[in-house]
Amino acid sequence: MAATRTNSSALRALAVEYKSLQEEPVEGFCVKLVNEDNLFEWEVAIFGPPDTLYMGGCFKARMKFPQDYPYSPPTIRFLTKVWHPNVYEVSF
């Protein structure tokens, strides 16, 4: 029962956040669902801000949200090569 409640809470939180990002987009950032039936996995595009090393770049990533979101953070995996001191290359 607790897992269902947590999953339900996560679904509600993600639905609110996703809807908010669709209705009021954040400049330089865009999201869409990987699969319309799954709020737990998002495709993300981050556009490099002007006057930075990232200017003109479009960096694509996948965000996966855990079933107990927002109590545990999502994971993000960049699909586009990007250099950043907090982004590490992982081999699978």
Convert the chain into a string of H (helix), E (strand) and C (coil).
Answer: CHHHHHHHHHHHHHHHHHHHHHHCCCCCEEEEEEECCEEEEEEEEEECCCCCCCCCCEEEEEEECCCCCCCCCCEEEECCCCCCCCCCCCCC
pTM (2 d.p.): 0.80
| Residue 12: both structure tokens together | 């509600």
Per-residue pLDDT tens digits for 57-88: 999 999 999 999 999 999 999 998 877 767 77
> Is the predicted pLDDT of residue 19 greater than 90, yes or no?
yes
Fold adopted by 2-78: Ubiquitin Conjugating Enzyme (3.10.110)
pLDDT band at 30 (very low <50, low <70, confident <90, very high): very high
**In the chain, where the domains are located:** 2-78
